[in-house]
């Protein structure tokens, strides 16, 4: 009887959800929850910034900072000014409260800076054993959702609210697509801004470089991706500018371009020679248009008509003779040039073989030759910018 009781207790203990806690030398609390084969790690980076990781199998070693993608810049967060863990899934900082369900590994988050604690959202990892896993997101009191990158939706309508819609960034998370008679970018930037009444808000940054499919239809919203494990950050704050500032602190601030780039740069597809550019220059001067420069398209290096010159990165001296003198002439009038360059190299060019021999072109495998493609610009390969 005693042996049966012991075995029964052992079986129960094996299947109970578990948690472990660690606090690194940088005072960043890290708590791990397990349920069956799944785990959730909660890393409390600041009073208003929580980092999560959900996956299958063994969680990261206790006290080891969670992995990040190249999208994340800041890693030396000090930890919260105050923190408590009741051992039952409730984690509290000076500004946020996180409640982890030990069975489902859902994390429910409240904003504690309001007169009454404000429910922001609940995020639940699902299908962690499948080829694609998801985060299911409770909309709570959210009224509007913005962000998630570059997407042209309806001509003439600037409304960027995603509620009631799905966000699909193409096959790989970045694609050029048709819009209103032209080709535009559809690029994934996985930062979501959720706005409620007044200045109630939070942000969700999913630190995944793979394609993400977002859906904001019905009562349960979702983000689905092939990444394993799933990692995300929840950002709290008093208003949208604060969320934006916190996001830029986490991911880095883009360099401010030179002042001249905020001026008038004249482009067309494209200037066939210096004479055509001069004609536009003189016409704009005659009509007192302030100018800062001109943008040269494919013609400057010889165009892509067979034989394609894509990847030559050298002037077509028949149509653009003595570029050094022309650049100096334009500079005297305060004008600059922007020249298009693309990461493709036509296989008929001399430098294709040279670049291939130095592994400067993308390969289909480690021991393969360059991967080639037949595209609008010709037939050839793509520059491998990861080669060091």
Q: How does pLDDT run across 230-254, given as a tens digit for each residue?
A: 999 999 999 999 999 999 999 999 8
Q: Which residues contact 1 (CB under 8 A, 6 or more apart)?
A: none
Q: Using the 3D structure, point to which of 225, 251, 277 is the last residue of a domain.
A: 251
The token duo for 324 is 């050094």
Inside any domain, residue 111:
yes
Report pLDDT for 22. Answer: 64
Do β-strands 336-339 and 293-296 pair in parallel, antiparallel, or remain unpaired? parallel
What domain count does the chain have? 2
Instruction: Indicate whether 241 and 293 sit together in one domain.
Output: no
Inside any domain, residue 2:
no
Inside any domain, residue 1:
no
Inside any domain, residue 157:
yes
User: Could you identify the residue written with the tokens 């991967």?
Assistant: 371
The token duo for 302 is 């010889």
Report pLDDT for 254. Answer: 86
Instruction: Indicate whether 82 and 111 sit together in one domain.
Output: yes
Peptide bond just before 270 cis, omega within 30 deg: yes
Inside any domain, residue 4:
no
Inside any domain, residue 209:
yes
Instruction: Indicate whether 34 and 86 sit together in one domain.
Output: yes
Inform me whether the pLDDT recorded for 255 exceeds 70: yes
Q: Using the 3D structure, point to which of 230, 251, 272 is the last residue of a domain.
A: 251
Q: DSSP 3-state assignment of 191? A: strand
Instruction: Indicate whether 243 and 284 sit together in one domain.
Output: no
Q: Using the 3D structure, point to which of 216, 251, 286 is the last residue of a domain.
A: 251
Residue-number span of the structural domain to which 333 is assigned: 259-382
Inside any domain, residue 5:
no
Q: DSSP 3-state assignment of 152? A: coil
Peptide bond just before 229 cis, omega within 30 deg: yes
Rounded to the nearest 5 percent, the helix, strand and coil shares of the chain are: 15, 35, 50
- Rounded mean pLDDT of 50-57? 98
The token duo for 76 is 């030396």
Report pLDDT for 364. Answer: 85
Q: What pTM did the predictor assign?
A: 0.78
Inform me whether the pLDDT recorded for 11 exceeds 90: no
Instruction: Indicate whether 116 and 193 sit together in one domain.
Output: yes
Instruction: Indicate whether 205 and 329 sit together in one domain.
Output: no
Inside any domain, residue 173:
yes
Q: For position 243, which CATH number holds?
A: 2.60.40.1760
Instruction: Indicate whether 237 and 313 sit together in one domain.
Output: no
Instruction: Indicate whether 300 and 178 sit together in one domain.
Output: no
Give the residue ranges of DSSP H helices in the chain.
2-15, 240-251, 274-286, 323-332, 350-357
Instruction: Indicate whether 218 and 292 sit together in one domain.
Output: no
What's the pLDDT tens digit per position in 71-114?
999 999 999 999 999 999 999 999 999 999 999 999 999 999 99
Inform me whether the pLDDT recorded for 5 exceeds 70: no
Instruction: Indicate whether 220 and 302 sit together in one domain.
Output: no
Instruction: Indicate whether 149 and 202 sit together in one domain.
Output: yes
What value does the mean pLDDT of the chain take?
Answer: 92
Instruction: Indicate whether 243 and 273 sit together in one domain.
Output: no
């Amino acid at each position: 009887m005693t042996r049966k009781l012991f075995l029964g207790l052992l079986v129960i203990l094996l299947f109970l959800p578990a948690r472990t806690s660690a606090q690194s030398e940088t005072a960043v609390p890290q708590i791990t929850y397990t349920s069956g084969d799944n785990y959730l790690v909660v890393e409390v980076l600041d009073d208003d910034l929580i980092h999560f990781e959900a996956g299958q199998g063994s969680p990261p070693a206790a006290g080891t900072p969670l992995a990040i993608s190249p999208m994340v810049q800041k890693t030396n967060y000090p930890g919260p000014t105050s923190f408590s863990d009741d051992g039952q899934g409730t984690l509290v900082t000076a500004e946020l409260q996180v409640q982890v369900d030990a069975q489902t590994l859902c994390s429910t988050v409240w904003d504690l800076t309001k007169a009454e604690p404000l429910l922001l959202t609940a995020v639940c990892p699902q299908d962690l054993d499948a080829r694609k896993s998801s985060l299911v997101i409770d909309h709570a009191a959210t009224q509007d959702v913005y962000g998630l990158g570059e997407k042209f939706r309806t001509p003439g309508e600037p409304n960027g609210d995603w509620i009631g819609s799905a966000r699909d960034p193409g096959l790989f998370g970045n694609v050029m697509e048709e819009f209103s008679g032209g080709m535009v970018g559809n690029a994934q930037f996985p930062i979501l801004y959720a706005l409620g009444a007044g200045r109630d808000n939070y942000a969700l940054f999913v630190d995944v470089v793979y394609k993400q499919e977002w859906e904001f239809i019905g009562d349960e919203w979702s983000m689905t991706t092939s990444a394993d494990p799933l990692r995300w950050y929840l950002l709290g704050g008093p208003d949208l500018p604060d969320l934006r500032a916190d996001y830029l602190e986490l991911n880095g601030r883009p360099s401010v371009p030179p002042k001249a780039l905020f001026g008038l740069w004249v482009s067309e597809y494209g200037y066939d020679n210096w004479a055509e550019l001069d004609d536009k220059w003189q016409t704009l001067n005659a009509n007192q248009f302030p100018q800062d420069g001109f943008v040269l398209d494919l013609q400057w290096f010889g165009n892509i008509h067979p034989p394609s010159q894509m990847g030559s990165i050298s002037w077509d001296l028949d149509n653009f003779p003595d570029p050094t003198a022309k650049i100096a002439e334009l500079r005297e009038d305060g004008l600059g040039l922007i020249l298009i360059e693309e990461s493709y190299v036509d296989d008929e060019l001399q430098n294709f073989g040279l670049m291939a021999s130095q592994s400067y072109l993308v390969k289909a495998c480690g021991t393969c030759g360059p991967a080639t493609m037949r595209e609008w610009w010709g037939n050839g390969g793509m520059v491998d910018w990861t080669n060091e």
